[in-house]
Homo-oligomer: A and B are copies of this chain.
Amino acid sequence: MNTGQLPLYAQLKESIIHDIRAGQLKPQDKLPSHSELCDVHNVSYMTMRRAINELVNEGMLYGVPGKGVYVAEPKEVAEMDPLLSFTEDMARRGKVASSRLLSAELYEASTIMAQVLKVQPGDPLVHLVRLRLADRMPVAIQRVTLRYALCPGILDYDLESGSLYAILRENYGLELAATEGTASAALAGEEEAELFGIELPAALLVTEQVSYLGSGEPVEVAHARYRGDRYGMPLPRVRGQ
């Protein structure tokens, strides 16, 4: 029965999502019963259930035992993806992202950095500082520290134009799978105000994140400072415990 590349359950998910987006299924509508859906799509019960179950976990549907499965209210805002690169983030907002490379250098891991990135003190790290722009307007200053062992020769790539994540994925096979960190606020310094072209005092949104591979191996430490007046970070839409 499987005609496409994707697993059957993934195709079924796509099909349901399509029906919702196309307006054939509206919020609070009841889906056909499982057995009906199985007949229509010619799949087994468990496969159909997996598709529905995953959509429930993703918050698009919700099930009421003994009654049926219903379409949840649509998400008003794009879901937060903390693994979204600045480039992709801006693309979703309909803006063109660009960079000015302020600094790019190799240096040796301090004890603290070594601990966070799980390397030995003195191991080579790459430190990049980039001014990020959205439609040519300065929006953020990003400081990224990478394990050089994972991306040897990365300084030879064009770090001005493209997405760093794309370089890591396409040239080094590094697929970031998880991230953790904090967000806070701080006053802008003089240097920053100059780079942003703003007057002091000004408030910045500050994020500190560590990114990991699927195995849990740390890859990078990212420190970003966003203009508080120009950037709102989307918060996740999440289901309760």
Contacts and interface: CB of A to CB of B under 8 A. Distances in A.
Interface of A: 27-28, 46, 57, 59, 62, 70, 72-77, 80-83, 175-187, 200-207, 209-210, 212, 214-218, 226, 228-229, 231-241
Contacts of A241: 81
Contacts of A178: 59, 237-240
A83 B46 contact: no
Please tell me how many copies of the chain the complex holds. Answer: 2
Contact of A215 (B62, B184, B204, B214): B62
Nearest to A76: B180
Nearest to A184: B232
21 contacts: A27-B216, A57-B57, A62-B216, A72-B216, A76-B180, A76-B210, A82-B236, A179-B236, A181-B234, A182-B233, A183-B233, A184-B228, A184-B231, A185-B186, A185-B203, A185-B228, A186-B229, A187-B202, A200-B201, A205-B205, A236-B236
